[in-house]
């Protein structure tokens, strides 16, 4: 059965996927553009029809607790979307120029909402006679295939600055700033914030270089999503601040995250989940770390933090009461870190190109098990590969590190990666 381009846009999509192969790439492009234009046309039709119905509601609409609810009950829309459609129709009535551009399909639904919102609540310092000119500017930014929400918002922000008043514009009102940090039931943390434009600019500027896609040394593209890169960059931003900021007498020394753990648990991880319990073990006896803010932390993660930290020792009695406290000591000092950077040039894991500033000093034999803090027992690893080295026994994919006769770290892959487990040299080839 032959597929006509006109049928693709005006016909049903049922069975269409199996017939589109008959169209050329140029025809497919034309069909996509035509379908998009048809969606804009039908969207404008729906807004106009719903608005007219709102002015002449019948019994069915009145019985549905509002037009938005009626529309949702008779379509696949959500109630909130039905209310937005009805609200836009009413908002367009006083602004015929905006309505005309929307009706002809040259302005999207979302852009029309932004423009009428500006028209309904213009800047306090804007005279009434300036509104038509402002509408023209906004419609110019919202029209055509080059239109973007960013452009429309930029014009709105510019107009708000042009017609400044004694009132602080929302984008500059620091009193509205909010940041909420809450722990979830699974031990993770949710962050939600609302900041003024200047604070947002500072945050985005600080994250800019930290969130860029970083290809692998062989040119393989960064597989992380934008959200994952932002999260990784935010983590690194906090870490650098804690390492470098003058936050007090201990400024510049890690960890600024305080973790408490029993020395015996840190030295040897007991498998509590598999061990039978006689009921006499208290919660304080469990082999986990403890953070003052968010509570339990696994021993694997605690040992990871302990590789390069500021260690304080507190001697407790059988009841957990402090008997003595010894001064803290830095496990990896500044001189050793400089030497590690000179040797490893960043993360030493094979194939990793992470820069030195993003690395931890990892103890090959953990210091809690008697491993000394000396060069032949240390290696620089990025946080991702540092976590890999601290995975609990029993996990598939356990890597080992050994110092070679060249006094450099060599990495031994697990059998699942290399059955022969041939040692691989530290990755310094692609670093300068």
- Say if residue 85's pLDDT is above 60: yes
Token pair, residue 58, equals: 């019948």
State the pLDDT confidence band at 56, using cuts at 50, 70 and 90: very high
Average pLDDT over residues 178-200: 88
Phi, psi of 419 (to 5 degrees): -55, -30
Does 306 score more than 80 pLDDT? no
Tell me the three state secondary structure of residue 16. coil
Token pair of 224, please? 């992380």
Listed residue (339, 335, 359) closest to 349, CA to CA? 359
What are the tens digits of pLDDT across the range 265-287?
Answer: 555 544 433 344 444 444 344 45
Judge whether residue 202 has pLDDT over 80: yes
Which residues, in sequence order, are bridge partners of residue 311? 329
pLDDT tens-digit map of 20-48: 888 889 889 999 999 999 999 999 999 99
Give the DSSP H or E segment for 371.
none
Contact between 138 and 130 under an 8 Å Cβ cutoff? The reply is no
| Predicted structure pTM score | 0.51
Based on C-alpha coordinates, what's the Rg of the chain?
31
Residue 9: how many CB atoms within 10 A of its CB? 16
Determine the Cα–Cα distance for residues 377 and 403; give it in Å rounded to an integer: 8
Tell me what pLDDT residue 333 has.
81
């Amino acid at each position: 059965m032959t597929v006509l381009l006109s049928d693709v846009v005006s016909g049903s999509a049922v069975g269409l996927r199996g017939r589109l192969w008959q169209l050329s790439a140029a025809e497919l492009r034309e069909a996509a553009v035509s379908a998009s234009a048809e969606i804009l046309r039908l969207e404008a039709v729906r807004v106009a029809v719903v608005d007219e119905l709102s002015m002449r509601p019948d019994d069915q609409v009145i019985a549905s607790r509002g037009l938005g609810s009626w529309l949702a009950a008779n379509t696949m829309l959500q109630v909130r979307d039905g209310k937005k459609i009805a609200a836009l129709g009413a908002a367009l009535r006083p602004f015929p120029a905006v309505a005309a551009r929307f009706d002809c399909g040259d302005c999207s639904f979302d852009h029309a909402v932004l423009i009428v919102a500006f028209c309904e609540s213009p800047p306090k310092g804007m005279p009434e006679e300036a509104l038509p000119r402002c509408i023209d500017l906004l419609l110019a930014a919202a029209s055509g295939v080059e239109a973007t929400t960013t452009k429309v918002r930029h014009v709105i922000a510019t107009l708000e600055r042009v017609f400044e008043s004694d009132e602080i514009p929302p984008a500059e009102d620091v009193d509205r700033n909010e940041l909420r940090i809450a722990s979830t039931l699974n031990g993770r943390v949710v962050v939600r914030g609302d900041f003024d434009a200047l604070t947002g600019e500072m945050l985005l500027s600080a994250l800019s270089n930290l969130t860029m896609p970083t290809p692998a040394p062989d040119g393989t593209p960064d597989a992380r999503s934008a959200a994952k890169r932002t999260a990784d960059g935010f983590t690194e931003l906090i870490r650098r601040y804690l390492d470098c900021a003058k936050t007090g007498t201990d400024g510049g020394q890690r960890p600024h995250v305080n973790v408490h753990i029993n020395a015996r648990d840190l030295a040897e991880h007991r498998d509590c989940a598999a061990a039978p319990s006689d009921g006499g073990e208290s919660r304080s006896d469990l082999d986990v770390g403890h953070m003052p803010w968010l509570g339990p932390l696994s021993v694997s993660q605690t040992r990871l933090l302990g590789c390069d930290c500021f260690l304080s020792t507190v001697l407790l009695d059988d009841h957990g009461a402090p008997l003595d406290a010894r001064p803290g000591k830095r496990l990896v000092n500044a001189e050793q870190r400089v030497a590690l950077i000179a040797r490893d040039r960043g993360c030493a894991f094979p194939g990793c190109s992470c820069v030195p500033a993003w690395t931890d000093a990892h103890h090959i034999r953990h210091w809690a098990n008697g491993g000394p803090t000396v060069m032949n027992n240390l290696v620089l690893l990025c946080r991702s590969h540092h976590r890999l080295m601290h995975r609990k026994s029993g996990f598939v994919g356990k890597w080992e590190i050994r110092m070679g006769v060249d006094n450099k770290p060599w990495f031994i892959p697990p059998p699942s990666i290399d059955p022969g487990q041939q040692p691989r040299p530290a990755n310094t080839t692609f670093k300068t």
